[in-house]
């Protein structure tokens, strides 16, 4: 007789690009007689207007304080983490990220002899955000006490190793596409394309938008990108000024964040 697998995943929120993976995890856990429950520390982030996915798994948001930290960053201080975990005990606890809630949850799991797995989609680029001693200590503690690790790429796996995780305890789970490629774009010639170049994301320096603009300007001057779309601008007037500064104001369409 196979063992029941009940999984709880604690994260800040469920992004659209992870919902399908969580559905798959729910399916696997269900076949093993269990299921997946996702606990979130917040419903939305400041610069994102993602739709709330309706997955096949159970999902709930913990109450608590939300303290803005800057560009699209929020420090979530949830209430009742241990109470929420105790209400429906799990066989495995997956922790998405390195926040206070994840630290509290790992403490609870250790006290109840429940293995924990750390899931992290980033790698080296996030280290600057954890440069203060408190956050560094929090991250090191979570990694040192975890039983397994889920990275989104081989670089992410190497990052875990650089922080002390053993290679045999790391698995790579790439981020899958969150939407199918539209059939209408298949086999189009260049003259039939709506755009030659697309930026999709927040128009911030931390996302590399400044580098994109410089590359787009060079491609435009070379005649390789005459029609450019910017989808996801966080400040349309500012984005327009940036494009104008490199001579792209007549070659680009700027769109707000899309639902």
40-44, 95-99, 193-197: least confident range: 40-44
Between residues 195 and 1, the one the model is more confident about: 195
Q: Is residue 82 part of a domain?
A: yes
Mean pLDDT (the chain) is 85
Q: What is the pLDDT of residues 101-145, one digit of tens each?
A: 999 999 999 999 999 999 998 776 666 666 778 778 888 999 999
Do 123 and 189 lie in one domain? The reply is no
Among 128, 144, 172, residue at a domain's last position = 172
Q: pLDDT band for position 202 (50/70/90)? A: confident
Mean pLDDT confidence for 168-177: 88
Do 11 and 139 lie in one domain? The reply is yes
pLDDT at position 149 over 90: yes
Q: What percent of the chain has pLDDT over 90?
A: 48
Q: Is residue 1 part of a domain?
A: no
CATH code, 202: 3.40.50.2000
Contacts of 236 (CB under 8 A, 6+ apart): 254, 256
Bridging pattern class, strands 58-61 and 35-40: parallel
Q: Is residue 238 part of a domain?
A: yes
Do 127 and 231 lie in one domain? The reply is no
Q: Is residue 178 part of a domain?
A: no
Candidate ranges 16-20, 35-39, 189-193, 198-202; pick with highest mean pLDDT? 35-39
Q: Which range marks the domain in which residue 246 is found?
A: 183-256
Q: pLDDT band for position 46 (50/70/90)? A: low
Do 157 and 187 lie in one domain? The reply is no
Among 150, 172, 194, residue at a domain's last position = 172
Q: What percent of the chain has pLDDT over 70?
A: 85
Do 61 and 155 lie in one domain? The reply is yes
Contacts of 9 (CB under 8 A, 6+ apart): 22, 25, 36, 37, 38, 39, 93, 94, 95, 96, 119
Among 172, 202, 222, residue at a domain's last position = 172
Do 18 and 141 lie in one domain? The reply is yes
Between residues 72 and 160, the one the model is more confident about: 160
Q: Is residue 83 part of a domain?
A: yes
pLDDT for 1 equals 36
Count how many Cα atoms sit within 13 Å of the Cα of residue 74 in the half-sphere of its side chain: 20
Do 147 and 238 lie in one domain? The reply is no
Q: Looking at the 3D structure of the chain, how many domains does it have?
A: 2
pLDDT at position 82 over 80: yes
Q: Which of 217, 220, 227 is nearest to 254 (CA)?
A: 227
Do 165 and 55 lie in one domain? The reply is yes
């Amino acid at each position: 007789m196979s063992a029941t697998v009940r999984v709880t995943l604690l994260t800040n929120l469920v992004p659209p690009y992870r919902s399908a993976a969580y559905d798959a995890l729910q399916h696997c856990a269900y076949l093993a007689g269990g299921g997946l429950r996702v606990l979130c520390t917040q419903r939305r982030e400041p610069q994102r207007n993602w739709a709330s996915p309706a997955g096949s798994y159970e999902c709930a948001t913990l109450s608590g304080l939300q303290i803005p930290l800057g560009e699209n960053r929020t420090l979530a201080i949830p209430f009742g983490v241990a109470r929420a975990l105790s209400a429906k005990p799990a066989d495995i606890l997956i922790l998405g990220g390195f926040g206070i809630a994840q630290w509290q949850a790992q403490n609870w799991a250790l006290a109840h002899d429940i293995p924990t797995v750390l899931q992290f989609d980033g790698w080296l680029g996030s280290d600057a955000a954890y440069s203060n001693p408190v956050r560094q200590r929090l991250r090191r503690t979570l990694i040192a006490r975890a039983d397994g690790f889920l990275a989104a790429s081989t670089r992410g796996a190497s990052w875990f190793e650089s922080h002390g995780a053993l290679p045999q305890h790391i698995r790579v789970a790439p981020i899958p596409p969150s939407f199918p490629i539209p059939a209408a774009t298949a086999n189009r010639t260049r003259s039939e394309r709506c755009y030659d170049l697309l930026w999709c994301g927040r128009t911030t320096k931390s996302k590399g938008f400044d580098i994109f603009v410089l590359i787009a300007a060079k491609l435009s001057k070379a005649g390789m990108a005459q029609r450019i779309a910017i989808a996801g601008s966080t400040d349309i007037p500012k984005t327009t000024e940036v494009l104008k500064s490199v001579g792209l104001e007549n070659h680009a369409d700027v769109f707000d964040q899309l639902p």
